[in-house]
Amino acid sequence: MSDLRELVLDTETTGLEPGEHRIVEIGALELINHVPTGRTYHQYINPRRSMPPEAEAIHGITEAFLADKPVFDDIAQAFVDFIGDGTLVIHNAKFDIKFLNFELERVKQAPLKFSRVIDTLEMARGRFPGAQNSLDALCRRFKVDSAKRVKHGALLDSELLADVYLELIGGRQKGFSLEVGAGGGGSVETGGNAPARARGKPRPILLTDAEQAAHEGFLDTLGDGVKWRENAGGKT
C-alpha cells in the first residue's frame, strides 16, 4: 500500500477575482500518512500590479516588498513539481484553486482538479454546523496556538491549517491505546476495522434490595424450572 501524500496549502492575493487580481504568496507543507515531514514550499510572487490597501491590511505584503520577487511564470514549474499528484488540503478551497488555475492555465500548465482537493472549511461546516469555522475560530476550538498570526501569511496559515486538519480527521495520533482497569489492556485504531476487544469480567449487577425482591416476585409468577433462575442470583 502506497503512502498517502498531502499538501496543506494557502495563498495570499491582491484581491478577490483572478485576472483583475493576482497571487502574491504561496505556502505549502507536506504530510505523509498525516504526519508532517518538514518539507515546505514558500514563495512570494510579483503580481505585476499595484497592491490595494485593503489587501495589504490583511496580509501585510507591500508593493515595494514584492518589486524584486519573481513573477508566477518563473516559479510555476517549481510549484507544480513540489505538489506533484498529492492531495491538496485547503481552507475555502474554491478561492485558492480559482487563483492557482488562472495562473497555471496562463502559463500553459494543467489546471488543478477539485477531485484531488480536501476543503477543510466544508469539513468544519459538516462537523460544526452554524458555528464560526474560520481558521482563527478553528484554532481556538482545537486549542491550536495561533499567537504568531498577527496578519495572514501563506506558510504560517498552512502550518496552522495542518494542525486543524489533523484535529478534524480525529486528532494527531492515528491510533491510540486504552488501559482497561488494573493489569488489563486493549487497543483502538481510528479508521479501518479495529480488532474486537476481549470481554473482561462480567460487570456486577447493581440492584437495590427492593429491586431484587421485585425481580424475585416476577420470577415466582413464571413457575418452576424457569431458565432465567440459573443466572438470577436469587432462588434456585
**Is-contact 18 159, C-beta < 8 A?**
no
Mean pLDDT, range 88-107, rounded to an integer: 98
pLDDT digits (tens, 9 = 90+) for 136-156: 999 999 999 988 787 889 999
**Rounded Cα gap, residues 126 and 212, in angstroms:** 47
Q: Which CATH number covers residue 127?
A: 3.30.420.10
Residue 62: inside a domain? yes
% of the chain exceeding 90 in pLDDT: 68
Residue 38: inside a domain? yes
What is the H or E stretch that residue 189 is in? strand 186-189
% of the chain exceeding 70 in pLDDT: 72
Q: Which residue has the cell 476543503?
A: 119
Cell numbers for 189: 485504531
The yes-or-no answer on residue 152 being catalytic is yes
pLDDT at 212: 58
Catalytic option among 21, 59, 91, 152:
152
pLDDT digits (tens, 9 = 90+) for 165-213: 999 999 765 443 333 333 333 222 223 333 333 333 343 444 456 555 6
213 Cβ neighbours under 8 A, 6+ residues apart? none
pLDDT digits (tens, 9 = 90+) for 43-65: 999 999 999 999 999 999 999 99
**Rounded Cα gap, residues 199 and 197, in angstroms:** 6
pLDDT at 30: 98
The DSSP line for 78-140 is HHHHHHTTPEEEETTHHHHHHHHHHHHHHTTPPPPPGGGEEEHHHHHHHHSTTS--SHHHHHH
**Is-contact 145 162, C-beta < 8 A?**
no
Residue 26: inside a domain? yes
Give the chain's domain count.
Answer: 1
Residue 139: inside a domain? yes
Question: Structural domain of residue 33, as residue ranges?
Answer: 5-173
